[in-house]
Amino acid sequence: DVKRDPKIQIARLKLPILGEEQRVMELINENEFLIVAGETGSGKTTQIPQFLYEAGYASTKMIAVTEPRRVATVAMAARVGYELGLSSKEVSYLMRFEGNVGKETKIKFMTDGVLLKEIQSDFLLSKYSVVIIDEAHERSVYTDILLGLLSRIVPLRRKRGSPLRLIIMSATLRIEDFTENTRLFKTPPPVIKIESRQFPVTVHFNKHTYSDYLKEAYKKAVKIHTRLPEGGILIFVTGQQEVHYLVRKLRTSFPYKKNVDYSKLIQKKRPTLTETEQALDSEPEDIESDDDEVEKEMKRMRKARRKMRQKHKELPKINLDDYDMPEDDGQADLVDDNDDQDSEGHLSDSDAEDDTLTAAIKNCRQPLWVLPLYSMLGSSKQARVFQPAPVGARLCVVSTDVAETSLTIPAIKYVVDTGKKKMRVYDHVTGASAWRVVWTSQASAEQRSGRAGRTAPGHAYRLYSSAVFQHDCVEQYPPDICRRPPDHLTLTMKCMGIDKHDCMEQYPPDICRRPPDHLTLTMKCMGIDKQYPPDICRKPPDHLTLTMKCMGIDKVVNFPFPTAPDRMQLRLAEQRLEVLGLLERHQSKAKRSDDEDVLKVTALGRAVSAFPLLPRYGKLLALSHQHALLPYTVALVAALSVPEVMSGKPDSWPATGHLLLLGDPGVLLRAVGAAEHAHLKGEEELFCAKYGLREKAVQEIRKLRKQLSSEIRLCVPNAVTSLGEARVVDDGQARLLRQLVLTALGDQVATKIQLHEVKEGEDKRKYKYAYHCANLEEPVHLHSESILRKVIPEWVVYQELYETGSEERRKMVMRHVT
């Protein structure tokens, strides 16, 4: 008994999916699993929930729809409610920190992280009659895990006599990962392809590829607007700040003034608009007000230190049971959208405009209706992109990649594609991540171009050369789950408590290994284009493992991933996590003798999983909340994540007594602290040159520190992480930090090789700096620039091992030794 507005009904009928309603519903009724593949804009997200609703799927239980992006979660719930003539009480949304779900909710849109979290308390998802996983082609880590879990939950629900349907919706990309993976679905689910009308789009490449792609995008938009026929423009950039920058610039060039009747103006071909400038509707940039914060934190730090000194006249100790648990222990819905990250370097306003462009702008009377679009934009502002531009004005949307497949903007005729996007890249040592601007994949470029041909033939302008497209753009990026170390994920999955459910213990053997060409893609994502680094095999999957364990997924190695990370690496990650005390052994409940023990997450592991780092460094941070040591460990982790901070001049940083306690990380910490001091005084450049610090590295460390700090505050809200005045480490603190480093690197211990152990006839001098370490036959050596060469301690821990020298003079060396 749905009563739709006739206007909506007409609009719906134009969508290709409407013609397939009967077939779609037949397939859903007859199958537990269904894959719906269709071009963006064909009507999957807005229409299929309505089909299900009308077929009665929401009569006793709810219809669930998951989205990997927050922006789509809100927008699509609103749209579906509107089309159905239902209120937001009935068609609702839920995401972390926000939502309007209630008792009357029938159709529930949510971020994938939210549904994952619900599985922790209700494994069978008994509230739902059908789950739609939307945008599955985006392959977010949470979506991938959801698919693995749902492949097991659906048969369980059937056994309980209350069937659950799973619908996977995807753009027409990489469907084989779902259909040809027999660990995921024993028999491939039926696929329904929605053929949509797509008008031809002419793709234009630039002859040259300029690095200032924002300037190029601006110029291209000006040319389109001043020279080409009517039709909306959609510009793809990488992040929120770039969006605002371009929006401002374009609005200034082609202002829209509310009180002017443009339809008449244009007909009468009046000369240029009057100069009555009106305040532009521009959003302010987020400006960090650091000064106050620093001052406050300095006070807090001073107080904490005073207190600590009084309390610990004796040797201070790190208490292994003292750490904050995040209130929300899940990782649900960590905003992984890249739009809210800031970008740097492109925003100089001093572009000298081409004379011709300036003239064109001057002569153009038609305003440009410029709108921003990105994930964190408020929902009322988001909604504006769906409304037609005011009469006489041309629509121009400046967007991040949310407009690639998540949202379809009507009436776009011209696409301007910078070819860039932001991507999280992970440091292989610490697991710290940073946003990098990278080339989009070829698949993304095609998707973006396609946006120009939704309603009529269109044009796509790629602001880079065809050579770049062929050589620098990968065909497709590997799914997120393979790009980050899995340790963290494993721990989180273990936290979900699914070990009660035997179904997780009976997976068929792992048959889908990563294809060999996968590595190449991963490398490209990391920005390494031409060469494999030697440590690829040692890239730790610990993060993923930890996250999954936190979700209660004990047998991470056997989990039915759509695309599985390397199995051997997963096993090693479990071992490391156990040694770190983040997982512990439980005897398997099954009676079978061949069953291995199960590794489950510990309380510490649960706390550590909240930190966006490789778990060993997460542990360092979790424990360093004690004694107000977070500022130092944050700085340390940031410094350890950046390569080659110091050009080999160890003597620039003379060893004082307590620095030696901490060894190389102590030197690093001191250098960072001192550089920070110099930065506040505006003397960073000089300072870096004088003391042999790489200035770029110092800046990178500062950025990472800020990023880490804000992510830590998500799980430990009152954490003090700023260095403030606490730049110099005192004796007691150095001792505590040394204990912390040991808790994090306790599995990477080495002991000095004694001279009497050296075989007869061997050159003893070669063993001056040599150590034994576990699991390795050959000796390892102190780094030639290690400050500890002055001391040569009996016992050390190291951050990383690496190889130097050519074939016959190959040598294993320890980096960052304490």
User: Which residues bind to Mg ion, rule: CB under 5 A?
Assistant: 44-45
Which residue lies nearer to ligand ADP by CB, 79 or 735? 79
- Tokens representing 545 are 């493992």
Give yes or no for residue 41 binding ligand ADP (CB under 6 A).
yes
**Residue 201 contacts which entry, Mg ion, ligand ADP, none (Cβ below 5-8 A, type-dependent):** none
Which residue lies nearer to ligand ADP by CB, 38 or 612? 38
Give yes or no for residue 453 binding ligand ADP (CB under 6 A).
no
Residue 147, φ and ψ in degrees, nearest 5: -65, -45
- Tokens representing 538 are 């040692």
Beta-bridged to residue 458, according to DSSP, are: 201
Helices (H), 55-140: 70-84, 112-121
| Contact region with ligand ADP (CB under 6 A), list: 34-42, 181-189, 352-360, 543-551 | 34-42
Question: Minimal CA–CA distance to 387: which of 401, 405, 374, 373?
Answer: 373
**Residue 42 contacts which entry, ligand ADP, Mg ion, none (Cβ below 5-8 A, type-dependent):** ligand ADP
User: What's the CA gap between 258 and 214, in Å, rounded?
Assistant: 28
Which residue lies nearer to ligand ADP by CB, 47 or 440? 47
| Contact region with ligand ADP (CB under 6 A), list: 45-53, 88-96, 266-274, 359-367 | 45-53
**One symbol per residue from 79 to 108: x for binding ligand ADP (CB under 6 A), - otherwise; what is it?**
x-----------------------------
Give, as ranges, the residues between 737 and 756 that touch ligand ADP (CB under 6 A). none
Q: Which of 27, 28, 45, 707 binds ligand ADP (CB under 6 A)?
A: 45
Which residue lies nearer to Mg ion by CB, 44 or 702? 44
Residue 126, φ and ψ in degrees, nearest 5: -70, -10
Give yes or no for residue 170 binding ligand ADP (CB under 6 A).
no
Are the beta carbons of 785 and 648 closer than 8 angstroms?
yes
Closest separation in Å from C-beta 66 to Mg ion? 12
Are the beta carbons of 522 and 174 closer than 8 angstroms?
no
User: What's the CA gap between 476 and 68, in Å, rounded?
Assistant: 18
Which residue lies nearer to Mg ion by CB, 135 or 329? 135
Residue 743, φ and ψ in degrees, nearest 5: -65, -30
User: What's the CA gap between 171 and 36, in Å, rounded?
Assistant: 8
The full DSSP string for 502-541 is GGGG-PPP---PPPTHHHHHHHHHTT--S---TTGGG---
User: What's the CA gap between 544 and 546, in Å, rounded?
Assistant: 5
Sign of CA dihedral 73, 74, 79, 81: positive
Give yes or no for residue 232 binding ligand ADP (CB under 6 A).
no
Helices (H), 268-423: 290-311, 355-363, 379-383, 402-405
486, amino acid identity: P
| Contact region with ligand ADP (CB under 6 A), list: 39-47, 179-187, 337-345, 436-444 | 39-47
Closest separation in Å from C-beta 45 to Mg ion? 3
**Residue 140 contacts which entry, ligand ADP, Mg ion, none (Cβ below 5-8 A, type-dependent):** none
Which residue lies nearer to Mg ion by CB, 44 or 524? 44
Beta-bridged to residue 168, according to DSSP, are: 35, 133
Closest separation in Å from C-beta 318 to Mg ion? 49
Closest separation in Å from C-beta 434 to Mg ion? 29
What does the radius of gyration of the chain's CA atoms come to, in whole angstroms?
29
Closest separation in Å from C-beta 78 to ligand ADP? 7
Q: Which of 42, 400, 433, 547 binds ligand ADP (CB under 6 A)?
A: 42
User: What's the CA gap between 490 and 321, in Å, rounded?
Assistant: 22
Give, as ranges, the residues between 344 and 403 that touch ligand ADP (CB under 6 A). 386
User: What's the CA gap between 706 and 700, in Å, rounded?
Assistant: 10
Which residue lies nearer to Mg ion by CB, 45 or 739? 45
**Residue 558 contacts which entry, Mg ion, ligand ADP, none (Cβ below 5-8 A, type-dependent):** none
Give yes or no for residue 239 binding ligand ADP (CB under 6 A).
no
Per rule CB under 6 A, count of chain residues that contact ligand ADP: 14
Give yes or no for residue 408 binding ligand ADP (CB under 6 A).
yes
Give yes or no for residue 44 binding ligand ADP (CB under 6 A).
yes
Helices (H), 96-232: 112-121, 141-159, 176-179, 213-227
Q: What is the DSSP letter of 553?
A: -
Which residue lies nearer to ligand ADP by CB, 403 or 645? 403
Sign of CA dihedral 96, 97, 102, 107: negative
**Residue 41 contacts which entry, ligand ADP, Mg ion, none (Cβ below 5-8 A, type-dependent):** ligand ADP
Name every residue whose Cβ is closer than 8 Å to that of residue 94 and which is 6 or more positions away in sequence: 73, 100, 101, 108, 109, 110, 111, 114
- Tokens representing 596 are 């291995």
Which residue lies nearer to Mg ion by CB, 17 or 473? 17
Which residue lies nearer to ligand ADP by CB, 378 or 657? 378
Give yes or no for residue 43 binding ligand ADP (CB under 6 A).
yes
User: What's the CA gap between 272 and 725, in Å, rounded?
Assistant: 57
Give, as ranges, the residues between 60 and 79 that touch ligand ADP (CB under 6 A). 79
Cα angle 724-728-732, degrees, rounded to a multiple of 5: 115
Q: Is 777 helix (H, G, I), strand (E, B) or coil?
A: strand
Question: Minimal CA–CA distance to 445: which of 463, 428, 427, 457?
Answer: 463
| Contact region with ligand ADP (CB under 6 A), list: 43-51, 61-69, 100-108, 175-183 | 43-51
Give yes or no for residue 40 binding ligand ADP (CB under 6 A).
yes
**Residue 43 contacts which entry, Mg ion, ligand ADP, none (Cβ below 5-8 A, type-dependent):** ligand ADP
Which residue lies nearer to ligand ADP by CB, 17 or 740? 17
**Other beta carbons within 10 Å of 539:** 18
Q: Which residues bind ligand ADP (CB under 6 A)?
A: 15, 38, 40-47, 79, 386, 408, 410
